[in-house]
Structure 1
Amino acid sequence: MTNRHERIQHYLDHMCVQVKAREVHNDLRDELGNHMQEMILDKKQEGYTEEEAIAYAIEQMGDPAVVGKSMHRLHRHRMHWGLLVGLIGLSITSLLLIWIFTINVADEKYQFLYRGHVMYTVIGVMIMLFFIYFDYRKLKKAAWWIYILLNALLWINPMISTNFYGMSRFLIAPLGFVIDLTTASVWILPLAIGAIVQEKLHSNCNMQSILTYIAMVALPVVLLFQMSDWVRMFLFGTMSIILFGWLTRKWLYTVLGAVVTGSIFVLLLFFADRYGRLERLSVVLNLQDDPYGGYSNNSIIKIIQSAGWWGNGIDTKFDMFKMSYLDYPGVLLIDVFGWSAGILLLVGIIWFVASMVKMLPRIRDNFGRMIIISITSMFALQIIYSLAMTTGKAPILSIVFPLIGYGNHLLFEYAMVGLLLGIYRRKDTISTINEKIQQKMDADLLTNS
């Protein structure tokens, strides 16, 4: 290597020292090095010697420390403070509601609930911090393994499970830790499937790739059906349709898929339902004369109506709903603090989901955008229905209120928020080379459409 090349290399090394995001070092070296090379060639054509041309290029570029600091400001890791503030608000609300529930509603034998909720929250935050600093792009390499492992657990667990509270959806891990397999599948499997088929559906959305996607979705659906977890089966199916539409931009196929899936689900309710789900779904049509569980809906309506703008206070006796408050934190919030608190919760949730949606146009990496679509859609589906159940006018289903309701579902929800924050953190450090490849893929997709 000649002396002039060493000088340029030394300049680029000194500049990159100031840039903390190492992911962009190679891109910066290529971009600035090529720019310096062009200046050197121009000056050589004007009659400069090579040494003079190199000195001129370095002088024009400026102090490498100053240039490096400006590049660092441009490519540094980011934090989405709006999403983080929304999460903190929901976490505080959750802890407050479980504390109120524990001291006023739960029997003495359930006093451990608050400690358990704090434990889930602390572990969830730790998992979230891990995913903030985890490079989400590594999930692509592990996608097939994740898909195979989760499907294998969904298949094997019902055969070996001791049926935790009569349900085979729970996996009993070492030290007695309980993992909700179906909830894990609803969050994780769409990400794994999307990672596997994304490039294929983007670059060559033909019948073969569509059938591959359908087959990969059908296997978990069948397993969830066999486990009788129809709620998670419906959520997973809905999420898969949304993800297919976003990946392919084939909206006609997406609508047809939604119609076919909805029709199959309705037929299952009529002909393959052994647990009276159809009756429970139709309860809201006749709440006054219902033998299938209208008590919960009527109780919620009475509580909401009696709360008023400022609620019944923390010292209320909670005679109307008792232990059921644990499943409906929104109802507990309104009962204690009134309609004003319910409206404030609604505004906070809208802000929280809007913060997720606003991330999308700022992310250049297509895989990161796919993850945002999947996670945001799943949060939105569960939040919307949880709010609907809070009114008492919607059928009561086993859908928990994300980030507020009690249970180990919090672990997955904090993990998903951590993934979102991790994607946003790296939004300005993704390789420009990858960005150009993705732009070409998007252009090809639009041409094929």
Structure 2
Amino acid sequence: MSKESIESYLDQVCQHIKAKELHGVIRQELEGHYAELTHDYIADGHTEEEAGKLAVKQLGDPVDVGKGFNKVHRPKTDWWLVGMIGVLVGFAVLMILYTSTEKYYMMYAAPYYLRFFYLFIGICFMLGCMFFDYRKIKKYSWHLYIGALLLIVFTIYTKVSINGSPYLRIGPFSISAYTIASYMLLIGLCGIVQHPLHNQKINKLVLRLAVLIPFIFFWTTLDLSQYGIYLVGLLTLLWFAPKMKVLFVSIIGVHLILLCILFFIRMNYIKNHLNVRWSNIDPLTASSLKSIRESGMWGHGAGVFKHKVPDIFTNFIFTYFIHAIGWLAGAVLLVLLLTLVVNLFKISIRTRDSYGKLLTLTLSAYLGVQLLYGPLMSLGLIPPAGITTPILSVGGLNLILSLATFGLILGIYRRKDLINPIIVK
């Protein structure tokens, strides 16, 4: 059989495969099978033309083969995860409407219509990331990493800070530099650790420096909450990345040593602080628990929140949610958040591509801490910290970035069957 004939056969197969980016891989795979079969038939005594026809016949009808490939290798959407994100967005809409009636909110927060605009932008980013081929990000890993460092250096140089954390001023808007940089660093490092240099000694040095340099900038800020979230994401990345276990253990060891040094330097202060905490509940936690206890099954509705709970629309948004809508809705939200985090990690298990798997694990850990910390903090189960709940809390940047991250993870799942496990190592 001539080369034109096998090309015609492959063209007919590809006509029935919707994922065009797979056409080249599938053609390569079928050409390999065709060459092997042809060689076997020639070895059995057939002429080259007869061997080609028999090989094509054994490959199967091109329509059936194409439909078979299309059925296996096609984009798939995790509708269960989409549904949970949709419910969370619905709760966010309720929070926008409810908080806009509170006098305290109207004094310090953005107008409700601006929050709806942020939500709309976030959903657009989520859809865009969902249909974007995440593998294209990998070649820009170093660009993201260096860009994140330059962003932090620039904001430190401009000396614009809120509560000790560097912010970037763009007109009337203040954007947390470390929040954006954390995403950029983690996504960049996922690609960097998967793209080693040829020289092994230099590669080890470069990787270690790439991981350790951001710590210098994080240690210069008082935003320990953002540092903690980034650290969880980084440790997850190092644990699942190839040949990074030593660095993982080293970072944990350094932090334990620093904690021990801090404990001995400020032993009396820490003892007194712990005695106060053990004998009296933290005032923030006490106010949150009081508000939750008085909420009732169905809540108090909007515009009636009177408890003195700082950061009620950001860090303690779960407290306000229960106060406004009630215990039952709070329980539903807590179960939703737990299920959402579990499903994020399940996607990583189903992902074949090693880069996609590492991205999903790292971003799931980064988002998971934020999704669960706020509710557990409101219930008094963990110490108060400046960690907002994604999508629900007031704040445009976190809302947009969280939805974009959900979209990226959905996009990785969507392409999990478009990646050939033989080609991807």
TM-score bracket, normalised by the shorter chain, equals: 0.7 to 0.9
Gaps of 5+ in 2: none
The 2-side partners of 1:286 and 1:114 are apart by 41
Residue of structure 2 aligned with 1:403, choices 391, 394, 400: 391
Residue in 1 that maps onto 2:223: 229
Seen in structure 2, the aligned counterparts of structure 1 residues 426 and 224 have a Cα distance that, compared at 3 Å, is: same
Q: Per the alignment, in what secondary structure is the counterpart of residue 313 of structure 2?
A: helix
Code of the aligned partner of 1:77 = P
Q: Report what 1:298 is aligned to.
A: 286
* Ranges in structure 1 where 5+ consecutive residues have no aligned partner: 289-293, 439-449
Moved more, 420-429 or 54-63: 54-63
**SS of 1:149's equivalent?**
helix
For residues 357-387 of structure 1, give each alpha carbon's deviation from its aligned partner in whole angstroms, at most 9, with x where no partner exists: 1112221111111101110111122223212
Partner of 1:376: 364
Indicate the RMSD between aligned Cα atoms, in angstroms.
3.1
Task: Find the counterpart in structure 2 of residue 170 from structure 1.
Answer: 167
Counterparts of 1:277 and 1:169, CA distance in 2:
28
Of the structure 1 ranges 94-103 and 35-44, higher mean CA displacement relative to structure 2 is found in 35-44
Q: Is the 8 A contact 1:365 1:430 kept in 2?
A: yes
Structure 1 equivalent of residue 300 of structure 2 = 313
Tell me, in whole angstroms, the C-alpha distance in 1 between the residues paired with 2:52 and 2:275: 79
> Going by fraction, where is helix more abundant, 1 or 2?
1
Q: 1:374 to 1:278 in 2, by over 3 A?
A: farther
Q: CA deviation at 1:53?
A: 3.1
Contact 1:23 1:430 in 2 (8 A): no
Residue in structure 2 matched with residue 20 of structure 1 by the alignment: 18
Cα shift at 1:339: 2.2
Residue type of the partner of 2:383? P
> 2:129 aligned to 128, 131, 134, which one?
131
Which residue identity lines up with residue 351 of structure 2 in the other structure?
I
| Equivalent position to 2:313, from 297, 310, 326 | 326
1:2-401 equivalences in 2 (<5 Å): 4-106=2-104, 108-109=106-107, 112-163=110-161, 165=162, 169-173=166-170, 176-200=172-196, 212-248=206-242, 254-265=248-259, 267=261, 284-287=277-280, 294-308=282-296, 310-315=297-302, 317-321=304-308, 324-327=311-314, 328-401=316-389
Residue 176 of structure 1: CA displacement?
3.8
Q: Deviation at 1:348?
A: 0.8
Distance 2:73 2:97 in 1: 43
For residues 151 and 277 of structure 1, do their structure 2 counterparts lie closer, same or farther at Cα, with a shift above 3 Å needed? farther
Give the partner amino acid of 2:348.
L
Q: Equivalents in 1 of 2:58, 2:9: separation in Å?
A: 12
Deviations 1:124-163 (A, max 9, x none): 1111222222222222221112111111121121222444
Measured at CA, do residues 369 and 102 of structure 1 come closer, stay the same or move farther in structure 2, by a change above 3 Å? Answer: same
2:193 partner SS? helix
Return the alpha-carbon distance in structure 2 between the equivalents of residues 78 and 282 of structure 1. Answer: 54
Displacement of 1:191 after TM fit? Answer: 2.0
What SS is found at the alignment partner of 1:427?
coil
Q: How has the CA–CA distance of structure 1 residues 60 and 326 changed in structure 2, closer, same or farther, with 3 Å as cutoff?
A: same
* SS in structure 1 of the partner of residue 175 of structure 2: strand
Relative distance call for 1:246 and 1:118 in structure 2 (3 A) is same
Partners of 2:190 and 2:48 lie apart in 1 by: 51
1:52-92 CA distance string (max 9 Å, x none):
33333333333312221211111111212122111111111
- Is the 2:89–2:391 Cα contact (8 Å) retained in structure 1? yes
Q: How many residues align?
A: 421
Q: Name the stretch that deviates more: 217-226 or 115-124.
A: 217-226
Partners of 2:243 and 2:41 lie apart in 1 by 49
Kindly tell me: are residues 43 and 253 of structure 1, through their superposed partners in 2, closer, same or farther at Cα, counting changes over 3 Å? closer
1:270 Cα deviation (Å)?
A: 7.6
Letter in 2 for 1:181: A
Q: Distance in 2 between matches of 1:48 and 1:207?
A: 54
Measured at CA, do residues 99 and 178 of structure 1 come closer, stay the same or move farther in structure 2, by a change above 3 Å? same
C-alpha deviation, 1:265, in angstroms: 4.6
Q: Secondary structure of the equivalent of 1:226?
A: coil
TM-score for both structures, normalised by structure 2: 0.88
Identity rate of aligned residues, in percent?
28
> d(CA) in 1 for partners of 2:412 and 2:112?
32
Aligned position for 1:424: 413
Measured after TM superposition, the shift of residue 419 of structure 1 is: 1.3
1:299-329 per-residue CA deviation (whole Å, 9 max, x = no partner) reads 1010122223x13331572111477421222
**SS at structure 1 position matched to 2:168:** strand
Give, in whole Å, the separation in 2 of the partners of 1:55 and 1:261: 67
Instruction: Measure how far apart 1:5 and its partner are.
Output: 1.6
Question: In 2 relative to 1, CA 218–39 (structure 1 residues): closer, same or farther, beyond 3 Å?
Answer: closer
* SS class of match (1:325): coil
- State the Cα distance separating 1:214 from its structure 2 match: 3.9
Q: CA deviation at 1:186?
A: 2.1
Paired letter, 1:409? N
Q: Tell me which residue corresponds to 1:442.
A: none
Provide the secondary structure at the position in 2 that maps to 1:158.
helix
- Secondary structure of the residue aligned to 1:405 is coil
